[in-house]
Amino acid sequence: MGIRTTNGRGKRYASILDTVGDTPVIRINRIAPAGVTVYVKAEAFNPAASVKDRLALNIIEAAERDGKLTPGQTVIEATSGNTGIGLAMVCAAKGYPLVVTMADSFSVERRRLMRFLGAKVVLTPRALKGYGMYAKAKELAEANGWFLARQFETSANADIHEATTAREIMADFEGERLDYFVSGYGTGGTVTGVARVLRKERPETKIILTEPANAALVQSGTPQDRAPDGGPSGGHPAFEPHPIQGWTPDFIPLVLQEALDKAFYDDLITIPGPEGIKWSKRLAAEEGIFTGISGGATFAVAMKVAETAPKGSVILAMLPDTGERYLSTPLFDGIVEDMTEEERALSLSTPYAQMAAE
């Protein structure tokens, strides 16, 4: 095989926002079990490195079209990080001030990224969980006349996944098998939007929903208490804190409720947080694919599906983001800054450029 070449995209972009979407589907070559084919959809290829770039852009542009967001108006949203980062990118490009509310349990990198993109980040106590940051955002919006993005309730969320994510999957698997689609949920926008299309156009594809084993809100069967606007009126009793940041707040979002009410999934498989960490590390070290804990958890479920899937099955797993926003989380436990003993031994095996002993 000769040297790899590229031809360019054959176009120039008017804005960073025009690069959202069209993320690649990538085959897993070394760690997929024999007899099945596993692919991942790598959402880290979005410009702000997560699937939430899609909904962030559509929430703002839908509000502009509807006249709900006026020039210069401040945008506010509650987020575990990825939606806030996506909104910070969109608001920076369009000239809107952004305020984000976020529980102080989420990674420090997320706060710094949002602030780097020009947003203000208001932290809420971790003891109040996801509902605390959600209620704080509503309170600040009402007090100041700001535009509340409402990622957990707005139709703009699942709509963009129906219009982009699902269409990309349909194009990438046109004329080919797609037996399983695997996704976790944060707001539920991905699974709801993609399922709208798959149920109609690829009914043979089984949709697998996943959530943390110790925060199995959907599996519990307990309905979410809701306020008149569809938002949660409080936390869900089945929730416990979990390490899969971006997944499963302490309430069932209204966006996900559509998928539950319309039976948009064929199986629900829970996964422990440590399994997500393990598979994220394996994807990086053995496939060169860098994803966060949520991506690792989704992939872990895809591996469980692969264990019993009929021979020849094709599985697609969503990888929501990059691993770089997890540097201060348990995902990087054991990844040291200084040399390991093995690395030091390599250094000492030849005489040049040796580091002084600590």
Q: Which helix (H) or strand (E) holds 97?
A: none
- Residue that has been written with the tokens 């925060």 in this structure: 215
DSSP string, 262-282: TT--SEEEEE-HHHHHHHHHH
52 as an active site residue: the answer is: yes
Q: Is the separation of the CB atoms in 44 and 283 below 8 Å?
A: no
22 closest CA partner among 43, 38, 2: 43
Task: Say whether 78 sits in a helix, a strand or coil.
Answer: strand
In the Cβ-directed half-sphere of 277, how many Cα atoms lie within 13 Å?
A: 16
Distance CA 72, CA 159 (A): 25
Non-local (6+) Cβ contacts of 174 within 8 A are none
Indicate if 262 belongs to the active site.
no
* Residue type (1 letter), 354: Q
- The backbone torsions φ and ψ at residue 59, rounded to the nearest 5 degrees and listed phi first, read -60, -45
Name which of 150, 190, 204 is nearest 313 in CA terms. Answer: 204
Task: Indicate which residue of 52, 129, 136, 138 is catalytic.
Answer: 52
- 49 dihedral zone (left: phi>0; alpha: psi -120 to 50; beta): left
Catalytic residue among 80, 107, 183, 294: 294
- Strand pairing category for 25-27 and 37-42: antiparallel
> Which residues are known catalytic residues?
52, 294
